Chains A and B, each alone.
Chain A
Amino acid sequence: MIEKKIFEGNKAELVVSGVDSSFMNSIRRTLLSEIPKLAIDEVIFYENSSPLTNEILAHRLSMLPIPTEMDLFVPKDQCVCEGAGCPNCTLIYTLSKEGPCTVYSGDLEAQRSEFSIKDKDIPITELAEGQRLILEAMATLGTANKHASYQAAFAVGYKNYPVISIDYSKCDLGKTCIDACPPNIIKKEGNRIVIEDIEKCTLCKECENRCEFGAIKVTYDPEKFIFRFETDGALEPEEVLKKAIEMLDKKLESFSSQMFTVEEEKQ
């Protein structure tokens, strides 16, 4: 059950219950490596007298977040053009600059204006007086198990939902736990110790270790998780999660269909 879901800007947070960690991990790993995203993977340099080499520039360009619409493109190796590059699988950017200036990601001109890079302030290189950079870059669709530049979701992680129990008969309100808590979520309210935002608890057990009377206990719910991830602006977090579930579904479907078509090996 999804108990809470927040999609805010590039960040996503979900509270999921009634599942185990292997389930959460399969979603995590799919998010990390199976989501198709656009990234620059081929650059033609017409002129480069900048201080950085072609290879470094190509790598920097490949790491830029390219706004992606997954349904509009097909991976290059599955395209009808058979890898030659056509508008179905390749998006072309051009750049032409002469120094003195700093070349930013916003200087890349997209072939189709809806794909111009949203984050315009990423420095690519600096050009001194008289130095020039003229290039053409091709972005294609790929997944992160080929190269990190195709990675769509970042800092993907889950943790068990914390459960903090306080035995008020043993508690002397000495504030040791309040001072010990690194995320600072334990507060005193009247003559009771209360936990303010339990989702911020890191399960470090510092409060439990410091309390002389054993009044506070930190455990976790093994079937409830807080799941968080981010995107780089190329895709929306909600879209990424939907795609991950779709990819996982496809894999399981092909597994279950082979269950009945592949013959059993006799022992």
Chain B
Amino acid sequence: MIIPVRCFTCGRVIASDYEKFVERVKKGEDPKEVLDALGIERYCCRRMILSHVDLIDEISAYE
């Protein structure tokens, strides 16, 4: 659906980094390096971003 505000496990705010991550990976950067550059260290937070499927665009037509 939409990226969760925080990491489920540790509680770090991750939603604000998701759009930056997607943008930079689309430009051809290595996901590992983008996550490191964004300061997302722990694997709990990294999986939040890596495994997310953003479907909000598809359902936003429905109220």
Residues of chain A touching chain B, judged by Cβ–Cβ distance below 8 Å, are: 49-52, 60, 63-65, 105, 119-123, 125-128, 131, 148, 151, 154-155, 230, 232-233
Contact = CB atoms under 8 A, between A and B. Distances in A.
Interface of B: 1-3, 5-6, 10-13, 15-16, 18-20, 42, 56-57, 59-63
B20 to A, nearest CB: 8
Contacts of A155: 10-12, 42
Secondary structure class of chain B's binding surface, majority of residues: loop
Contacts of A151: 11
Nearest to B13: A232
A232 B11 contact: yes
A151 B13 CA distance: 12
Given A52-B2, A63-B5, A154-B11, A122 B60 contact: no
Contacts of B18: 123
Contacts of B2: 52, 60, 123, 125-126
A230 B60 contact: no
Contacts of B16: 105, 119-122
A127 B61 CA distance: 9
B10 A154 contact: yes
The 9 A-B pairs at the shortest CB distance, nearest first, are namely A63-B5, A121-B16, A154-B11, A122-B15, A128-B60, A51-B60, A155-B10, A49-B63, A122-B16
Contact of A126 (B12, B15, B60): B60
17 contacts: A50-B63, A51-B59, A51-B60, A51-B63, A52-B1, A63-B6, A121-B19, A122-B5, A123-B2, A123-B19, A125-B2, A126-B57, A127-B60, A131-B63, A154-B10, A154-B12, A230-B12
